[in-house]
Amino acid sequence: MALRWSDFITPSTLQLAPLLELLLEPIACLQTQAQLQLGLQEALVNAVRHGNGCDPAKCLRVRRIETPHWLIWQVQDEGTGVPPQERVARLPEQLDALGGRGLFLIHHCFDDVRWSNRGNRLQLAVRRQRRPALVRSPIQSSRSVISLASARLAAGRAGGSPDR
């Protein structure tokens, strides 16, 4: 397989389902797709809300790169960027806090997470699987995302470290 990439540019809104579906097209394994959907959704929502301030006049840019061994997504907003000291994958100190779990989830959904120097572009990567992939089912995938999110949050509350 040669290197392939696709670019997606969309107005900065929270109507992300169609974009997520396109970004996850190369993923056939249901479990992997659910995990990556959770992480990508967190990255996209953060870019829209925090980077672009929910301004639909601003754009969200995503590049999907497919290599023989990796799938990579680069999510870029038009904001000033996340300062280096805030790029930490941790749960909030107050477990009942309304926010603060996004970067924790992102880091646990992907094998590699990197930031641009400016902090307005996030690169997310997952190693390709060697075993045969399962056929996708949108209904099963949605249930898996909900189950995965619940399990990860419960593990975080219990003080455990959710496995990838």
Tens of pLDDT, residues 77-117:
999 999 999 898 887 777 777 777 889 999 999 999 999 99
**Rg (alpha carbons) of the chain, rounded to whole number:** 16
Q: Is residue 162 part of a domain?
A: no
What's the whole-number mean pLDDT along residues 139-146? 43
Distance CA 143, CA 125 (A): 23
CA atoms of 99 and 85, how far apart (whole Å): 17
- Between 3-12, 91-100, 116-125, the lowest mean confidence (pLDDT) is in 91-100
* Average of per-residue pLDDT across 63-69: 96
* pLDDT of residue 72 exceeding 70: yes
pTM of the predicted protein model: 0.76
Amino acid at 91: L
- Rounded to an integer, the average pLDDT of 52-74 is 97
CA atoms 138, 9, 129, 126: torsion sign: negative
Q: For residue 53, tell me if it sits in a domain.
A: yes
Task: Identify whether 27 is part of a domain.
Answer: yes
The total domain count for the chain is: 1
What pLDDT sits at residue 53?
Answer: 97
Q: Is 112 left (phi over 0), alpha (psi -120 to 50) or beta?
A: beta
pLDDT at 155: 47
**75 vs 159, more confident:** 75
d(CA 2, CA 16): 28
- What is the domain range of residue 14? 4-157
Confidence check: pLDDT of 64 > 90: yes
In this structure, what CATH number is given to the domain that contains residue 103? 3.30.565.10
Task: Assess if residue 21 is contained within a domain.
Answer: yes
Mean pLDDT for the chain overall: 83
